[in-house]
Amino acid sequence: MIHPTALIHPRAQIGPDCEIGPYCVIGEHVELGAGCRLHAHVVVDGHTRLGRQNVIYPFASIGLQTQDLKWKGGVTRTEIGDHNTIRECVTIHSATGDGEATVIGSHNNILASSHLGHNVVIGNHVIISMAGVAGHVVVEDYALVGGMSGVHQFCRIGKMAIVGGCSRIPQDVAPFMLVEGNPPETRMINKIGLERNGVPAETQAALKQAHKILFREGLTTSNALARIEQELPPLPEVQYLVRFVRASERGIIK
């Protein structure tokens, strides 16, 4: 299932049952897992490995050299898991430093014209909707980044968080929260996302109370976290929120 106009390097590794459409270009060090489908005009280059059953739409560009001006050469990698959908005109760049990697997990939906910069780490079941994600950003599982948003380098988007459309993200987004705006603000818990992912009502209530303490009562971050630990039940999601905020290097969006 390889179109005769596709250009595939003889040393590229193409798994069984792959479909490669017209005018695709596959580089020497590329590995495609079983059942990947590339629509027309897809470019995959660099030291890039894709897992199984990924679907890539026209004019996507994956694994090419970083745009980072610190690039000094060497071998960098792009690692992509299984069952991802990568839509039209998406760009995913390789890492900057020798031996480093850009890493995308599995079951993600990267919508048209999104950009994932060098050294990003994207978890699983993530949706990125026509957004710009700068280098060294971490997006955790089940997070959603809304259309036309921009995420500053070295920021983290926490698990099950949602970033509203057209938002500017210069700091970390706390897990389970909804952040929106320019300048951005943590508005509430991501109630719809929590419900869709089966988070129990008891946990949602505790996260709602944690949101109030952390973002609405004017406390310092350290005092807010201490109150959360003292007053709220030690549910896994609450503990994860506290650990995430404590580990933040850029600070969290309030």
The one-digit pLDDT tens for each residue of the chain (254 residues) are 999 999 999 999 999 999 999 999 999 999 999 999 999 999 999 999 999 999 999 999 999 999 999 999 999 999 999 999 999 999 999 999 999 999 999 999 999 999 999 999 999 999 999 999 999 999 999 999 999 999 999 999 999 999 999 999 999 999 999 999 999 999 999 999 999 999 999 999 999 999 999 999 999 999 999 999 999 999 999 999 999 999 999 999 99
Per-residue burial over 57-90, b if 16 or more Cβ lie within 10 Å, else e, is: bbbbbbbbebebeebeeeebbbbbbbbbbbbbbb
Token duo for residue 140:
């955790």
pLDDT of residue 66: 98
Dist CA 23 CA 210 (whole Å):
52
Count of Cβ atoms closer than 10 Å to residue 243 Cβ: 11
Q: Is the peptide bond between 170 and the residue preceding it cis, with omega within 30 degrees of 0? A: no
- What is the per-residue pLDDT across 177-186, written as a single tens digit (0 to 9) for each? 999 999 999 9
Pairing of strands 109-110, 127-128: parallel
CA distance 3 to 1: 7
Tokens representing 155? 């920021």
Number of other residues whose CB lies within 10 A of the CB of residue 192: 11
Fold exhibited by the domain 7-187: UDP N-Acetylglucosamine Acyltransferase; domain 1 (2.160.10)
Of the candidates 65, 46, 240, 254, which has an alpha carbon nearest to the alpha carbon of residue 141?
A: 240
In this structure, which long-range contacts are made by residues 125-128, counting pairs with CB atoms below 8 Å and at least 24 apart in sequence?
Answer: none
* Strands of 132-133's sheet in order across: 7-8, 25-26, 43-44, 61-64, 91-93, 115-116, 132-133, 150-151, 168-169
What are the residue boundaries of the structural domains of the chain, listed by start? 7-187, 195-246
Give the CATH class of 195-246.
Answer: mainly alpha
Report helix angle 221-231 to 236-246, nearest 10: 160
The pLDDT score that the predictor gives to residue 205 is: 98
Q: Measuring CA to CA, how many Å separate 41 from each of 24, 55, 61, 214, 239?
A: 5, 13, 9, 48, 46
CA 60 to chain CA centroid, Å, is 16
Position 176 scores a pLDDT of: 98
pTM (two decimals)? 0.97
| Angle, CA 48 vertex, CA 46 and CA 53 arms, to 5° | 140
